[in-house]
Chains A and B, each alone.
Chain A
């Protein structure tokens, strides 16, 4: 397992994605799958950066584990900010027209749709969000 601890600030997004990409490239993850995972990690990380500690700044721990057979990645983002389960947010309706649409809720919906497994738990004062994706 690889681990990164970083301040939950939007400007750190390139560093977070660089860390994720490093692990996925080492596992020979297909490019399209890597982009989908990068997007999911952005949505979750930016959520934490925006809401978990605001207006303070706290840290996020990011853990990446690659499993064989089937080749898959499990990524966990852990913060100790205010308890918040983003998965409870109502899903936006993908059939709505441009005029009917609202700008919120898209990010987490994309995570739910594009990952194979998404799980949230609050334990020992920590928000623990895990995503899993089969790479090949």
Chain B
């Protein structure tokens, strides 16, 4: 439990939905320790989602562990709907540029 409390202070995940459109607002750090929390929450809704939105406007840090969760979600949505990423901060954009995800993902 202590581990979870620590992770929550590192990454805040807010999810809301309008019908089959699910939006995840991420705030803080998406890293090796926090990305499993996001993965679990995405897994819970992805089957019924037609559109998945990630708002990264307050995400200040992302490592490859976070990228893997986003890639997994995007791959699952390929056939069943669409996935959009919004509001890249400067450090997150740098990681997206370096790995080519700036072009691979649908970014608004």
Query: Is B a genuine binding partner of A?
Result: yes
Q: How far is the CA of A38 from the CA of B30 in the complex (A)?
A: 12
With a cutoff of 8 Å between Cβ atoms, the chain A residues found around residue B103 in the complex are 95
A99-B64 CB under 8 A given contacts A14-B33, A39-B95, A110-B98: no
Closest Cβ of chain B to A9, distance in Å, is 11
User: Does B41 sit at the interface, judged by CB under 8 A?
Assistant: no
Nearest residue (CB) in A for B61 is A35
Assess whether B44 is interfacial by the CB under 8 Å rule: no
Question: Which residues of B81-108 have CB atoms within 8 Å of chain A's CB atoms?
Answer: 90-91, 94-95, 98-100, 103-105
Residues of B in contact, count (CB < 8 Å): 29
A39 CA / B59 CA spacing, docked (Å): 14
A107/B100 contact (C-beta < 8 A), A14-B33, A35-B91, A36-B91 known: no
Say whether B16 faces chain A, with CB atoms less than 8 Å apart: no
Chain B residues whose C-beta falls within 8 Å of the C-beta of A14 in the assembled complex = 6, 10, 33
**Given A35-B60, A96-B104, is A11 in contact with B99 using a C-beta cutoff of 8 Å?**
no
| A42 CA to B32 CA, complexed, in Å | 8
Which residues of B pack against A, CB within 8 Å?
3, 6, 10, 31-33, 60-65, 67-68, 71-72, 74-75, 78, 90-91, 94-95, 98-100, 103-105
Additional A-B contacts beyond A94-B98, A103-B71 (14; CB < 8 A): A13-B31, A14-B33, A32-B90, A32-B94, A38-B61, A96-B104, A97-B104, A98-B71, A99-B78, A106-B64, A107-B65, A109-B99, A110-B63, A113-B99
